[in-house]
Amino acid sequence: MTLNVHVYPSNLTHESRILRITDALVAADIFDEVEVIGVARKDLPEREKIDDKRTLVRLERPAFNWFGAFLSKVIITLVWSLNVIGYLRNRRVGCVNAHSLAVLPLCVIVAYFSKAKLVYDTHELETETSGYKGIRQTLGRIIERTLIKRCDLVFVVSDSIADWYAKTYDIVRPTVVRNIPQFTVFSGDLQKVQRTDIGVPANKLLFIYQGGFISGRGVERLLSNFSKLPELELVCMGSGPLQHLVEDAAAKFTNIHYLPPVPPREVLAYTRIADVGICLTDNSCLSHYYSLPNKVFEYLHAGLPIIVNPLLEQTSLVREFDCGWIASEHDADFVKMLSHLGYDDILTKKRNARFAAEKLQWSDEAARLIAAYREYTFV
């Protein structure tokens, strides 16, 4: 029996990309068994079955801050990595997938001792994020440049990122597997959600932001600007460090609403109740400039036109399908644009969004994924 291990340092509660990828791998009989290894949390089971072939495994990771943030994080990661190695010791691992740069060294070690294939699936251009600066960025680039050439396959989320890796590290161009939803609003078993369920009037334009409430995603900007637009409704669905700001705004302004995150399969049922989806990733780093986030495709697959910042990949998508608007980086102009959006204009963009969704299918991404595995003799 061939075991495929995916490693990602999270609690594995909303990892839609990993779920999509592993589902495609087992459906194509690439692997007999898949385990996704993450970080333990007291309220979550150590082992959680997804289906007959896939299991989530959460291993303990210590929590302390004795030596400063960076050094503590290194030590915490090291201890957790040793737990992962101990867990996999004497297991017959056929392939190990690293889903972040932080776990790539660990996965190289596991692959070496297991004589397993090694796959690197980057969820972003990690060394070029705003969090990687100074010595951390230098070390990250050195580690990635060295270890990426040990990988049998590399997957990325956009064409621009693929080009960057090929040019910067002089490697074969990575395979692009975009974050297109696996489920659609037409799935028969999706629950029905109404605006009244979340306290939104039926006769007002509703905008939605979904995803992480973290810096760099435009959350603060949205709350500030929609507080000046009482005639428009905004729902923010997700969680993260800035959640208190969203909850405070929802308590203060009747047109701003907070929703906690829902399981990946239920996301589009909530998304579809809005009129327009918003993704205001800021242009603070190259990773953002090249990004194609989950939420962009989720909006389109819910039939929503999108508003995005002037970032390369997102702008190209909007212009290709004429399925939305490019936001001004100036708040006054952004507020003016929002206030002038009419139902007729939105209806036209909605039709284009549905057309884009028809062209942007997960089945095509999954086929590209499986073809790459078969080409590199994983089966």
Please write the tens of the pLDDT for every residue from 92-141.
999 999 999 999 999 999 999 999 999 999 999 999 998 888 888 999 99
**CA–CA distance, 249 with 257 (Å, rounded to integer):** 8
Question: Are 217 and 146 in the same domain?
Answer: no
Average of per-residue pLDDT values in the chain = 92
The count of domains in the chain is 2
Share of the chain above pLDDT 70, in %: 95
Kindly give the interhelix angle for 104-114 and 69-88, rounded to the nearest 10 degrees.
20
Residues of 283-312 as b/e, b for ≥16 C-beta within 10 angstroms?
eebbbbbbbbbbbbbbbbbbbbbbbbbebb
Check pLDDT > 90 for residue 347: yes
Question: Are 134 and 49 in the same domain?
Answer: yes
Query: Is 54 part of a structural domain of the chain?
Result: yes
Do the Cβ atoms of 232 and 289 come closer than 8 Å?
no
Q: pTM to 2 decimals?
A: 0.90
Check pLDDT > 80 for residue 148: yes
Residue 289 sits in a domain whose CATH number is: 3.40.50.2000
Query: Is 212 part of a structural domain of the chain?
Result: yes
Q: Which two tokens stand for residue 230?
A: 């009482």
Q: Which three-class secondary structure state does DSSP give residue 60? A: coil
More confident of the two residues 318 and 72: 318
Question: Are 22 and 144 in the same domain?
Answer: yes
Q: What pLDDT was estimated at residue 27?
A: 95
Question: The domain containing residue 323 runs over which residues?
Answer: 195-360
Question: Are 217 and 163 in the same domain?
Answer: no
Q: What pLDDT was estimated at residue 74?
A: 76
Work out the average pLDDT over 345-368. Answer: 96
Work out the average pLDDT over 140-168. Answer: 97
**CA–CA distance, 44 with 345 (Å, rounded to integer):** 45
Confidence of residue 189 (pLDDT cuts 50, 70, 90): very low
**203: which residues sit within 8 A by CB, 6+ positions away?**
none
Q: What pLDDT was estimated at residue 334?
A: 95
**CA–CA distance, 266 with 353 (Å, rounded to integer):** 20
Residue 88 to residues 13, 22, 57, Cα–Cα distance (Å): 22, 19, 11
Question: Are 218 and 352 in the same domain?
Answer: yes
Beta bridge partners of 36: 6, 56
Q: What pLDDT was estimated at residue 250?
A: 95
Of the candidates 163, 18, 172, 12, the one whose C-alpha atom is nearest the C-alpha of residue 97 is 18
Confidence of residue 144 (pLDDT cuts 50, 70, 90): very high
Q: Which three-class secondary structure state does DSSP give residue 335? A: helix
Share of the chain above pLDDT 90, in %: 80
